[in-house]
A = this chain, B = another copy of it.
Amino acid sequence: MKISARNVLEGKIIAIKKGATTAHVSLDVNGTTVMAAITNEAVDELKLEVGMKAAAVVKSSDVMIAVDE
């Protein structure tokens, strides 16, 4: 599958915290931590585990820009 989302940041899973319905999955991407809030179902279906290679995928329209004042 190829996807239209412009941002695919490759990294490694460093933490998974499942909640009641929503899980937080943290990746190390070149030394920066990226956190995703996804469904518990997705964690199970993709068999996500700490140490696995994975990518953070973000649609451009969900990215904001910030600058120092």
Contact = CB atoms under 8 A, between A and B. Distances in A.
Contacts of A20: 18-22
Nearest to A31: B30
A50 interface: no
Q: Is the interface of A mostly helix, strand, loop or mixed?
A: strand
A24 B52 CA distance: 26
Q: How large is the interface on A (under 10, 10 to 19, 20 to 34, 35 or more residues)?
A: 35 or more
A54 B66 contact: yes
Contacts of A24: 21, 39, 41, 60
Contacts of A14: none
A-B pairs with the 4 shortest C-beta distances? Answer: A19-B21, A19-B20, A4-B42, A36-B63
